[in-house]
A and B are shown apart, each in its own frame.
Chain A
Amino acid sequence: MRWLFAGSAVLVSAVIFSIMLFVGIQGMQTFQGVSPLTFFFSTDWAPADGRFGAFPFLFSTFALTLLAIALSVPVAVSGAVFMAKIAPKWMREILRPATDLFVGIPSVVYGLIGLTVLVPYLAKLTGETGYGLLPAAVILAIMILPTILSISEDAIRSLPRSLEEASLALGATRWQTIWRVLLPAARPGILTGVILGMGRAIGETMAVFMVIGNAPQMPKSLLDSTTVLTTAIVKDMPNTFYGTTWNHALYLMALLLLLISMFLILVIRVVARRRELK
């Protein structure tokens, strides 16, 4: 019996490691056709002509993720505080399942709403085309909101009651207690939520594909068509042949995404361990 479980565990790890190995080997072969310096720092992406500058994709991926986090975190954390400490019980019982429902909506639906509502609205508002980092970030912010919110709420609710009571006993107002005591104490939990949200934002593909415009260039503004790593892979994968530099370059982008999410998981581990020590 034990061997069955051990065997399953070994099988799963073997599958994961072979995937990583495969993506890694495929990705590294990129450098036979193009120098790392060009790949990471050139902004000229014209693979049909043999020019592989992936810097715009990297830049836009980070810009988009940070922007989505910046839009999402204040709303999510305020919502978490409200649900955990301010809302009456009946309200919380409606709000909590409602936010959890958001997670189940397929991402293409978000993308379609973005394409048919948000993009035309932004276009009308600014006179630009309406495609770009901004609509993508707004959609991602909504998509990752429930993740950050529910984890933050759990973190705030799981704080010992004594903290709050001690603060109130010292004469602090409710607001001071929340701002100065509860939020700092729940910080590791909130951070975990933020990092998980970041992971989702970086990996999201279809919704972003529909609203970001997908021009392979550096964005000059928040409303300028650009491409991120995930959408660059989706856009070009059906068009490349196995074994070409172009194909390798796409694997390299996948490898970068893998490394980024592994790094984020590592950060969560560190944050969680620090919480245990407390």
Chain B
Amino acid sequence: MFHPMSKKAFSLAMVATLSLGVLAGCGSAGTQKETQPGGGAAPANDQLSGTVTASGSTALQPLVQQAAKEFMEKHPNVQIQVSGGGSGTGLKNVAEGTSDIGNSDVKAGDEFKDKNLKEHIVAIAPFALIVNKDVNVDNLTKQQAADILTGKITNWKEVGGKDQKIVVVTRPDSSGSRKLVKQIVLDGKDITKDAVVQESSGAMVTAVSTTAGAIGYVDTAYVKDGVKALKFDGVEYSKENIKNGKYKLYGEERMYTKGEPKGAVKAFLDYILSDEFQNKRVEELKFLPASLLKQ
């Protein structure tokens, strides 16, 4: 008699736990909804409260996360959640209202024209073409890079390297890095279908560093041992070369809001654009200040 009873009690406990979980889930979702629109009516200075959600570009993510951490220390009543997913996801989320902020490496395309998106450029992110360190090529012209990425050139010897097959590594269509390379290097043409696809900047670097003859692209914060950053049109990546316009491969990192930002969202964006954050943190995180090109 005892045994089946305890079993029953156990199942009951499980059901109770599960339903509690479900209820709790609903509850928190409900409260989030209430506080979400711009953190409610935010009164004076340190009375900011509410939840801010940001999603999108994995390239920009470390910067937003750092800013969120600092901002939350200053305003303990504000909760900021930062997630990745790629620039395409970020734009989609902000357009549909699932996120307050959409992070993107590229300008929102025509499909977002009637979505009332407001753009905030928060940093410059230098990109680089990277190759496996066994590739003995140091420089590619724009034309050569385009021919390689579109699959017209398939051997390194055609661009001055040794006789070795080229493996193009790329990111999925939702990647802002991919769109950026498409715009700047390929003039809108598409990357070859034969390319190996990796799902994040980190996986891209791993794949390029382990695949012989591989070429890929990442923002320079991800460049590390095992891969070599190429010169583009004979120019090496540096802050100076971007400022004087010689190095063309960079993206303007954008944070989109639906309409004018309000309350906590606005305060958060203001913080990211403040001199305090721009001058101190942005370069520490291997980005460049948004104002670089305007000076």
Q: Which residues of A contact B (CB under 8 A)?
A: 1, 4-5, 8, 48, 112, 115-116, 119-120, 123-124, 127, 129-131, 209-210, 213-217, 225, 234-236, 238-239, 241
Contacts and interface: CB of A to CB of B under 8 A. Distances in A.
A127 B211 CA distance: 11
B15 interface: yes
Nearest to A118: B210
A120 B133 CA distance: 14
A215 B197 CA distance: 7
B243 interface: no
Contacts of A5: 11, 15
B198 A210 contact: yes
A238 B211 contact: no
Interface stretch (B138-146, B167-175, B279-287): B167-175
A48 B197 contact: no
A124 B212 contact: yes
Given A209-B199, A238-B85, A215 B174 contact: no
A15 to B, nearest CB: 11
Interface stretch (B59-67, B86-94, B229-237): B86-94
B276 interface: no
11 contacts: A115-B203, A120-B212, A129-B167, A131-B196, A213-B196, A214-B196, A216-B193, A225-B195, A225-B196, A235-B173, A239-B88
Interface of B: 11-12, 15, 85-86, 88-89, 92, 111, 165, 167, 172-174, 193-199, 203, 206-207, 210-212
Nearest to B210: A120
Contacts of B198: 210
A112 B86 CA distance: 20
Given A48-B173, A217-B194, A241-B92, A120 B211 contact: yes
A244 B212 CA distance: 39
Contacts of A209: 199
B210 A236 contact: no
B211 A235 contact: no
B174 A239 contact: yes
Contacts of A4: 12, 15
Contacts of B86: 238-239
Which of A124, A131, A238 counts the most B-chain CB atoms under 10 A from its CB?
A238
Given A115-B206, A116-B206, A124-B212, A238 B195 contact: no
B111 A241 contact: yes
A161 to B, nearest CB: 29
Nearest to B92: A241
Contacts of A236: 172-174
A238 B210 contact: no
A129 B85 contact: no
B88 A238 contact: yes
A215 B212 contact: no
